[in-house]
Structure 1
Amino acid sequence: MIKLTHVDKQYKEHHALADVSVEFPEHQTTVILGPSGAGKSTLLRAINLLERPQQGQMTIGDLTVDFAHPLSNKEVLAVRRKTAMVFQSWNLFPHLTILKNITAGPIHVLKQDPATAEKRALALLEQVGLAETAHRYPGQLSGGQQQRISICRALAMDPYYILFDEPTSALDPELEAQVLRVLQDLAKRQNSMIVVTHNMEFARRVADQIVFVEDGRVEFAGTSAAFFNRPTERIAAFLDAMKF
């Protein structure tokens, strides 16, 4: 489980996270929803330490970090080895083949045997329907295919949790559907996932838990069914605005 306790992140004129306490259960999919600028991505990036809160604690598995104190490089690396982030843009290495993009992390960071890393990468490509792309380069693939490759790259690191920050926002509807099908399959396999998205239909179908964020605060954390049953006037208004 990932647990945040009284986490606070403030910029000069903006309170990005305000006393956030929330849990993300293991082997479940949590979807973070909320209006633009609510703090969704900041919350997600804090888990991976791409954003550093000033207060509060985070427990991730057997590791606890206290944001009130400077984090050592050892602590940062320990957290990041438990998580893998998939961004809006896929950020693949353009000069490496797809296979080498996926195996670079396991070989150089996890110190896996290259043959083992390659076998795992080929299995992941098969899982997302892109086995034939192993020896191609990123520039030869569509955006949707590249995003699926970035998901393979994350999975290859065997993370405790996979974090997705608006993974389909840069894609047209057809390519978005391809990526969402992969995420849905990962959810069925009970991967531990946290997803920031604006796609309400995906959230309704896939999420075990919904976390609703507004003005840097967690205003709701509960089951998908409870959320889409419109438990508050604010959530009802949000869902109506999203044309769900």
Structure 2
Amino acid sequence: MLKLEHVNKIYTGHHALNDINVTFPEHQTTVIVGPSGSGKSTLLRSLNLLERPESGRYHFDNLTLDFKQSLSEKAILKIRQQTGMVFQDFNLFPHLSVQKNVTEAPIHVLKQSPAKANANAKDLLAQVGLADKADQFPASLSGGQQQRVAIARALAMKPKYMFFDEPTSALDPELEADVLRVLLKLAQAHDSMIVVTHNMEFARGVADQIIFLEDGKISYRGKPEAFFTEPTQRIHDFLSAMNFMAKP
């Protein structure tokens, strides 16, 4: 289980996360939505300790971190070994083939044998629809294909939770659909996922839990059905602005 209690993150003159209390259940998909600048990416990056909140507690299974205290490298490593992060930008190694992008960390971090890492990479690339691209280099791939390689690379580390920060925001609609189909398959397999997205149709179809974040505060946390069919006036206005009117 992953849980935050009374988490605060403050930038100069801006309370990015304001007393965040939330649980992210295992084997479920939590989708985080909200207007630009609401703190969505800050929240996700805090879960991977890429951002360090000033206060609050972070519970990951039997490990508890107090953000008021300095974090040990051992604790940081333990969190990051159990979480996979996929960003807006693909961040692939341009000098390595697709196959080697996927096998690099399992071999050097998890100490898998090359044979096992390559076999796993082959299966993962097939899972994301890129079995025929293993020997190509990132520059020869479309943006959607590169993002699917990034997903395979994250999955290769066998994380307990997968984090996705607007994984399709840089893609055109056709390429976006290819990536969203991969995420849908992961959700249907009951992988533990936390996804920041602007795509409301995807959010409605994939989420077990929706979080609406605004001004660093959670104003809705619950089932997608109520979020979309019985929205508050503020959420209704947000959905309208996103050209996604709530439907009965």
Deviation at 1:113, TM superposition (A): 1.1
| TM-score normalised over the length of structure 2 | 0.97
- State how far apart, in whole Å, the 2-side matches of 1:199 and 1:73 are: 36
Report the Cα offset of residue 94 of structure 1.
0.6
- Offset of residue 147 of structure 1: 0.3
Q: Distance in 2 between matches of 1:33 and 1:5?
A: 20
Residue number in structure 2 paired with 1:141? 141
Give the aligned partner of residue 2 of structure 1.
2
Aligned partners of 1:238 and 1:67: how far apart in 2? 32
Deviation of the 1:85 alpha carbon: 0.4
What corresponds to 1:110 in structure 2?
110
Residue ranges of structure 2 left out of the alignment (5+ in a row):
none
Equivalent residue, structure 2, for 1:157: 157
Aligned to 1:201: 201
Aligned to 1:183: 183
Q: Match of 1:226? A: 226
Match of 1:57 in 2: 57
Q: Does structure 1 residue 38 correspond to structure 2 residue 38?
A: yes
How far does residue 114 in structure 1 lie from its aligned partner after superposition?
1.1
In angstroms, what is the RMSD of aligned CA positions?
0.7
CA drift of 1:62 comes to 2.1
- TM-score (norm. length: structure 1): 0.99
Distance in 2, matches of 1:229 and 1:209, equals 14
Matched residue, 2:213: 213
Deviation at 1:132, TM superposition (A): 0.6
In 2: Cα distance, 1:230 partner to 1:5 partner:
27
**Number of equivalent positions:** 244
Residue type of the partner of 2:152? C
SS at match of 1:52: coil
In the aligned structure 1, how far is the partner of 2:154 from the partner of 2:62?
21
In structure 1, stretches of 5+ residues that fail to align are none
Tell me what 2:125 maps to. Answer: 125
Structure 1 runs (4+) deviating above 4 angstroms are none
1:68-107: CA deviation from partner (whole Å, max 9, x where unpaired): 1000111111111111100001010010011100001111
Q: Secondary structure at the match of 1:102?
A: helix
- 1 CA distance for matches of 2:117 and 2:62? 26
CA deviation profile, 1:149-198 (whole Å, cap 9, x unmatched): 00000000000100000000000110000000000011001110000000
